[in-house]
């Protein structure tokens, strides 16, 4: 495999290159080359547009008997992409361009044709001035007049524009500065308004929080006061009249009267207080037991003597009941009943 990469060939000692036969090829032979369309063209057969830069596999040949300053001219053959009609064009070294020969027409050549026409007129004028000096003078005079007319027209146009459009640059700058100042003031006002709104929202939120805290504290205080009061305090409190209505006041009065009828007023002298007897100590109990036969004898002797004693007892019992509340006396009464039963 290493023999393929050998660059130096072996030449024998008796090698004579003149003896090698030369390959004879025709002068008008053609080569297949890959090229792009040098300009926009339109096929004459089908009307297909072929744009500049489209690639073709073209056949290339040398044009016979045509030279430009010793340079060869080449001809190319391509086929239309739609109808496969043959299109030919060749090089133009004189104008550094290509020339269409057959099968299509070149598009967008107006500018090129104008340039060629101007060049032709200029060349004819130079040839004419070369042989006729009077013609040179006439051409110079005509050119100077044309230049003066152009300058006059340009000056008139400038004056007309100045009269019609009088631009005050200082006024424009003042307006621009005024507009910038207004814009800054507007932005500042918007910023101040936004900050004010934010502060108001924060203040409202703070007030709401403080109100809710105060309400919670008031509720806690009311709960504490309610728990500290006795259950029966509601019966002794004065009922407020005015905004609550007469119906609620009447209901509370009825409850208070029913309680007083059943149990008795707190701290007041009632019939229930006369029925309650305070418990006596042990020595008083023994005295009462010794005095019992005596009282029985007195009751047998006469009913007239019993009446003053009962009146005096009824007079003494309310006095004793006034010293304490009726509820405490009721408890003492129940205790005395329990001791008697024992």
**The pLDDT of residue 238 is above 80:** no
Q: What crossing angle do the helices spanning 282-301 and 303-323 adopt, rounded to 10°?
A: 150
Of 61-75, 110-124, 197-211, 322-336, least confident by mean pLDDT is 322-336
287 carries a ligand binding annotation = no
80 carries a ligand binding annotation = yes
Mean pLDDT for 233-237 is 53
Q: Is the distance from CB of 297 to CB of 339 less than 8 angstroms? A: no
**What percent of the chain is predicted at pLDDT more than 70?**
62
For residue 272, name the pLDDT band (cuts at 50, 70, 90): very low
How far is Cα 79 from Cα 148, in angstroms, rounded to an integer?
A: 56
Backbone angles phi and psi of 266, in degrees to 5: -80, 125
How far is Cα 28 from Cα 198, in angstroms, rounded to an integer?
A: 93
Mean pLDDT for 163-175 is 76
How far is Cα 81 from Cα 46, in angstroms, rounded to an integer?
A: 10
Where along the chain do its domains lie?
Answer: 31-107, 109-181
pTM assigned to the model: 0.35
Of 51-60, 139-148, 329-338, least confident by mean pLDDT is 329-338
46 carries a ligand binding annotation = yes
How far is Cα 51 from Cα 268, in angstroms, rounded to an integer?
A: 127
For residue 277, name the pLDDT band (cuts at 50, 70, 90): low
43 carries a ligand binding annotation = yes
């Amino acid at each position: 495999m290493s023999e393929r990469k050998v660059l130096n060939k072996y030449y024998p000692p008796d090698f004579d290159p003149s003896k090698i036969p030369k390959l004879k090829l025709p002068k008008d032979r053609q080569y297949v080359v890959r090229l792009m369309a040098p300009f926009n063209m339109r096929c004459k057969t089908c009307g297909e547009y072929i744009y500049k830069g489209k690639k073709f596999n073209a056949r290339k040949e040398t044009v016979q008997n045509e030279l430009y300053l010793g340079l060869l001219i080449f001809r190319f053959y391509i086929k239309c992409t739609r109808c496969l009609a043959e299109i030919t064009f060749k090089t133009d070294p004189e104008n550094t361009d290509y020339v269409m020969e057959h099968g299509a027409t070149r598009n967008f050549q107006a500018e090129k044709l104008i340039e060629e026409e101007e060049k032709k007129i200029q060349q004819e004028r130079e040839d004419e001035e070369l042989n006729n000096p009077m013609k040179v003078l006439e051409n110079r005079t005509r050119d100077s007049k044309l230049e003066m007319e152009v300058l006059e027209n340009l000056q008139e146009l400038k004056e007309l524009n100045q009269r019609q459009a009088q631009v005050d640059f200082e006024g424009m700058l003042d307006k621009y500065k005024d507009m910038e100042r207004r814009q800054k003031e507007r932005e500042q006002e918007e910023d101040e308004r936004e900050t004010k709104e934010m502060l108001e929202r924060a203040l409202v939120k703070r007030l709401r929080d403080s109100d809710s805290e105060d309400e919670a504290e008031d509720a806690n205080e009311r709960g504490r006061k309610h728990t500290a009061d006795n259950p029966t305090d509601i019966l002794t409190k004065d009922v407020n009249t005015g905004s609550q209505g007469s119906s609620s006041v009447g209901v509370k009065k009825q409850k208070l009267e029913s309680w007083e009828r059943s149990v008795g007023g707190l701290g007041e002298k009632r019939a229930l207080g006369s029925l309650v007897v305070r418990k006596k100590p042990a020595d008083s109990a023994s005295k009462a037991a010794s005095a019992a036969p005596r009282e029985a004898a007195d009751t047998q002797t006469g009913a007239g003597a019993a009446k003053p004693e009962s009146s005096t007892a009824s007079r003494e019992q309310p006095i004793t009941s006034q010293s304490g509340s009726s509820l405490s006396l009721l408890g003492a009464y129940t205790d005395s009943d329990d001791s008697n039963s024992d």
